[in-house]
């Protein structure tokens, strides 16, 4: 690595995350547009201006909310084109939209309190990873919202990397494509990506946690929607007429296993079937499920179980109508990456050269890389340092983000020699 580090690098990482996190970019599952919220464009337009200002080329913001840019190669030989991706949206439904980032400099192990919620406390006893960060600069929100380091930390690291590479042309690397995506949190954005604009042979999503994480195995995922249509009636004259859709939905819930196959009863490589939202009236009720498993067979079994329960409950109320529709979401990236592990192997080599021990836990979730890999662009997931995501207790170490960026610099050098 040919440039000298200074405190300015940490300052840049800190400044970018604080600025980006303060912009509301919640996605909205109920929206029919792409991106699902106009607020995501606010951050994308800012990033576009900053990329243009630092000298990136081919900077393009699409109507569907994807931002692309190129860091030109500094080597003359033809090398694989590598893309770096992060999503700009944050998950909805957790606190308000006015994110107020707070920086806790040179953290010394004390409990971190949140001024907007006196009941929240972040401490090493409850977050063991935090105990390893003594002396680091820790960024949290104020307690009324999540921080949004998922995935603005990834955005931050890629932007800082782009700035460093464009400022230091002596670093040898091939062409690097940058892509910031919308609506990852609701699983719909990446479906609209233009691969002709991405123009990459391999890619990495910057959407991982602990230092050293390089993930090439994720859940496979389906979504299920169960619509229960009853028979409506005036309650005063309902005997023999009313079929209550809410009661039938409750029966479906009660019939499904409660002591297994749920998120709260599974871990490791165990899959689950999760009812996460239910809405409706006695006349009609809609139930929303997610199905998760590392193996195709397990995922299919979760779907068969749900359909079987719906059919059984339907038989108990023949005047009702119960429809179960299962929609594919994404598949375990391992199915494709195991055929060409170069993006993982080179990332492991880069980490070890910098004294970081690689870890590759199977992730009980998915990333944009899950769908990208299925589309033909092998895309493992790379660490950023984000912790306690989707929670007001979310936090990240500036020094962890720096490690991510430095490993990426070395990784781009290795790709230039691949």
Domain ranges of the chain: 7-218+332-416, 220-330
Residue segments in the chain with a per-residue pLDDT below the cut of 70: 1-6
Task: Specify the pLDDT at position 5.
Answer: 56
Q: Which tokens is 198 given?
A: 């991405």
61 sits in which H/E element: strand 57-61
CATH topology of domain 220-330: Alpha-Beta Plaits (3.30.70)
Q: What is the pTM of this model?
A: 0.88
Task: Specify the pLDDT at position 97.
Answer: 82
Residue 289, CA distances (Å) to 276, 277, 307 in order: 6, 7, 12
Task: Specify the pLDDT at position 375.
Answer: 95
In this structure, what is the dihedral angle of CA atoms 58, 40, 37, 323, given to the nearest 10 degrees?
A: 80
Q: How far is CA 385 from the centre of its chain?
A: 13
Task: Specify the pLDDT at position 6.
Answer: 59
286 class by beta-carbon count within 10 Å (0-12 exposed, 13-18 middle, 19+ buried): middle
Query: Catalytic positions, please?
Result: 89, 184
| Choices 3.40.50.11720, 3.30.470.30, 3.40.630.10, 3.30.870.10: CATH for 7-218+332-416 | 3.40.630.10
Contact at 8 Å (CB) between 232 and 308? Answer: no
Task: Specify the pLDDT at position 280.
Answer: 97
Task: Specify the pLDDT at position 96.
Answer: 74
Question: Which DSSP symbol is given to 349?
Answer: H
Give the C-alpha separation, 83 to 70, whole Å.
9
Counting every residue written for the chain, the total comes to 418
Question: What is the per-residue pLDDT across 142-177, written as a single tens digit (0 to 9) for each?
Answer: 999 999 999 999 999 999 999 999 999 999 999 999
Q: Which tokens is 343 given?
A: 């993006």
């Amino acid at each position: 690595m040919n440039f000298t580090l200074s405190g300015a690098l940490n300052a840049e990482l800190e400044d970018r995350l604080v600025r980006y996190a303060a912009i509301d970019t919640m996605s909205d599952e109920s929206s029919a547009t792409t991106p699902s919220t106009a607020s995501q464009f606010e951050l994308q337009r800012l990033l576009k201006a900053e990329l243009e200002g630092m000298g990136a080329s081919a900077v393009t913001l699409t109507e569907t909310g994807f931002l692309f840019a190129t860091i030109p190669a500094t080597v003359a030989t033809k090398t694989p084109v590598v893309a770096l991706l992060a999503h700009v949206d944050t998950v909805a439904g957790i606190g308000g939209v006015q994110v107020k980032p707070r920086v806790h400099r040179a953290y010394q192990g004390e409990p971190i309190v949140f001024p907007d919620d006196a009941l929240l406390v972040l401490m090493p006893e409850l977050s063991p990873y935090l105990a390893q960060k003594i002396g680091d600069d820790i960024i949290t929100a104020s307690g009324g919202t999540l921080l949004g380091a998922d995935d603005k930390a990834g955005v931050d690291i890629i932007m800082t990397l782009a700035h460093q590479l464009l400022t230091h042309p002596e670093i040898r690397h091939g062409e690097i494509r940058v892509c910031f995506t919308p609506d990852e949190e609701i699983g719909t954005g990446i479906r609209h990506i233009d691969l002709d604009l991405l123009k990459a042979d391999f890619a990495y999503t910057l959407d991982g946690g602990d230092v050293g994480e390089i993930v090439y195995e994720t859940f496979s995922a389906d979504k299920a929607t169960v619509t229960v249509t009853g028979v409506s009636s005036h309650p005063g004259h309902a005997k023999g007429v009313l079929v209550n859709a809410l009661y039938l939905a409750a029966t479906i819930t009660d019939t499904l296993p409660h002591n297994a196959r749920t998120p709260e009863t599974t871990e490791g490589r165990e899959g689950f079937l999760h009812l996460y939202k239910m809405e409706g009236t006695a006349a009609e009720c809609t139930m929303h499920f997610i199905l998760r498993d590392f193996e195709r067979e397990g995922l299919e079994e979760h779907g068969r179980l749900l359909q079987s329960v719906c059919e059984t409950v339907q038989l108990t109320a023949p005047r009702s109508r119960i429809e179960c529709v299962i929609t594919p979401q994404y598949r375990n990236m391992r199915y494709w990456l195991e055929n060409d592990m170069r993006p993982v192997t080179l990332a492991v080599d880069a980490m070890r050269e910098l004294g970081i021990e690689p870890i590759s836990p199977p992730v009980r979730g998915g990333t944009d890389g899950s769908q990208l890999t299925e589309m033909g662009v092998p895309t493992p997931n790379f660490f950023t340092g984000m912790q306690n995501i989707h929670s007001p207790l979310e936090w990240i170490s500036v020094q962890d983000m720096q490690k991510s960026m430095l490993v990426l610099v070395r990784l781009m050098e290795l790709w230039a020699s691949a």
